[in-house]
Amino acid sequence: MSDAHETTHEGHACCGPGYASPEEAMKAEREKVLYTVALYVGTGVEEPDYLATVDVDPESPTYSRVVERTPMPNVGDELHHFGWNACSSCHGEEGKSRRFLVVPGQRSSRIHIIDTAEERSPKLHKVIEPEEIVEKTNLTAPHTVHCLPDRIMISMLGDGEGNGPGGFLVLDEDFNIAGRWESNTEGMRYNYDFWYQPRHNVMVSSEWAAPNTYQGGFDPKDVAEGKYGRRLHFWDWEKHEISQSVDLGEDGWIPLEVRFHHDPNSTHGFVGAALSSNMYHWHKENGHWEVEKVIDVASEEVEGWPMPMPGLITDLLVSMDDRFLYFSNWLHGDLRQYDVSDPSNPRLTGQVWCGGLLGKSQEAAGRKLDGGPQMLQLSLDGKRLYVTNSLYSSWDNQFYPKMAEEGSYLLQIDCDTEQGGMKINEDFYVDFGKEPAGPARAHEMRYPGGDVTSDIWI
């Protein structure tokens, strides 16, 4: 490990290993910048994808603008999800610092390490090439990145040839490949997202499909042929093997993002089934994991569609105080806020329309919104929800073809944390259609100080 790993820069919330508790995190200083990946795959622009640093400080003269672009070395990575080298799971451990972003290419299987010591000017630190990953793990298509107390783990969606079930890759603190996490993949057909909770000796993972199935776009026939997932897996955290799997059935096709409560004592969590557009709640009851459907988004009849159009729940998150659940319906175009104080009985408290195919979209800063709301990130205090609209390049081009020519957006949604409710912030609009090299697609977002989808307490 280089000396740079040991240094911290005083006065920045991003420095140090995270927060002692969710309550402490909620009191953190307001974020100044937001990182999002932006990509050119599928737009016709032959330029590398990049990490965009966006100014989100309303007191700044560059508010709501991209102030730095950190390009990757190669073209065609399809940057997708990314995460930190350290988070609150490392709290209290001397020498740990939330400084490096681990930024995989979903399509290339290349993994980039970005140094954010200069918060507004991140620099490329290291690149792990796909050939080394395949040679050492026989895995491809990296997705979710989570820090562990002493390592970094990445869910991988394919084997060396792009078939299921994939697995979990582990990097050590020097960003070297340390092997695979799981002891076996018995009971697992596909992979996608994961979240661990050591106090309950559990990790939860979900299923999308094999890279060879989803990379070219969506074909409904693949669902009928069982090429997409519908299972939720509960892993024994100590044994690194599946202890219980739940088949969500016909109402649970393509379960994607999984979110535990932030309270490490809680066994409650949520997963959204994208294609079926249903939200499921899990918890542990009498030593057994129980899963129940708690929200059903009705499909809509749309002219030109051979079947009722699903909402397509593509991202969700839980506020730091575990009170509100947010999720996006990428095809319908709405963002929803639910009070989940009673996790088994969510109560709708807010809804905004940010594009979509139902013709209900609101405007943002006087602009018509194309595409549908997709990736979400929420401020630690729960008051600012950020949203981008790119899902995956081939799927974007299939359902929202204008995005390749016009680029995507980054919006801020103001959230009422007392009574509930949401509204689009008219003063904030980042137009990725006007980037220097051409229109780009913005996807996942992270804060330097940590966020509600990366911090885990143990």
Distance from chain centroid for Cα 57: 23
Identify whether the C-beta of residue 201 lies closer than 8 Å to the C-beta of residue 236: yes
Cα separations (Å) of 66 from 33, 100, 450? Answer: 9, 20, 19
DSSP state letters, 270-312:
EEEETTTTEEEEEEEETTEEEEEEEEE---B--TT-SSPBP--
Please give the pLDDT value at position 35.
98
Residue 225 burial by CB count (10 A; 0-12/13-18/19+): exposed, middle or buried?
A: exposed
CA distance 61 to 65: 9
Distance CA 217, CA 210 (A): 12
Rg from Cα positions in the chain: 20
Beta strands in 186-277 (DSSP E): 194-197, 202-205, 231-236, 241-247, 255-260, 269-273
Per-position pLDDT tens, the chain of length 458: 333 333 333 333 334 578 999 999 999 999 999 999 999 999 999 999 999 999 999 999 999 999 999 999 999 999 999 999 999 998 878 778 899 999 999 999 999 999 999 999 999 999 999 999 999 999 999 999 999 989 999 999 999 999 999 999 999 999 999 999 999 999 999 999 999 999 999 999 999 999 999 999 999 999 999 999 999 999 999 999 999 999 999 999 999 999 999 999 999 999 999 999 999 999 999 899 999 999 999 999 999 998 899 999 999 999 999 999 999 999 999 999 999 999 999 999 999 999 999 999 999 999 999 999 999 999 999 999 999 999 999 999 999 999 999 999 999 999 999 999 999 999 999 999 999 999 999 999 999 988 999 999 99
Residues 6+ apart with CB under 8 A from 285: none
Burial state string for 120-136 with b = 16 or more CB within 10 A and e = fewer than 16: eebeebeebebeebbee
Quickly list DSSP for 250-267: GG--SEEEEEE-SSTT--
Q: Where are the domains of the chain?
A: 3-446
Backbone angles phi, psi at 364, to 5 degrees: -130, 120
**396 sits in which H/E element:** helix 393-399
pLDDT at 16: 55
Residue 4 has a pLDDT of 33
Find out whether 68 and 93 touch, Cβ atoms under 8 Å: no
pTM: 0.95
Question: Is residue 375 within 8 Å of 445, Cβ to Cβ?
Answer: yes
* Angle, vertex CA 68, rays to CA 78 and CA 29, nearest 5: 105
DSSP assigned state of 77: -
Of 183, 175, 127, 123, the residue nearest 153 (C-alpha): 175
The CATH code of the domain at 3-446 is 2.130.10.10
C-alpha 52 chain-centroid distance: 16
- Integer Cα distance of 310 and 300 in angstroms: 7
Give the separation between CA 295 and CA 168, rounded to whole angstroms: 30
CA distances, 98 to each of 6, 296, 318 (Å): 11, 37, 21
Structure tokens that stand for 10 in this block: 């005083």
Q: Any residues with CB less than 8 A from the CB of 342 and at least 6 apart, and which?
A: none
| Neighbouring residues of 219: CB distance < 8 A, sequence distance ≥ 6 | none
Phi, psi of 269 (to 5 degrees): -165, 175
Give me the helices (H) in 400-451, please.
403-406
Q: Is 187 exposed, middle or buried (0-12, 13-18, 19+ CB in 10 A)?
A: middle
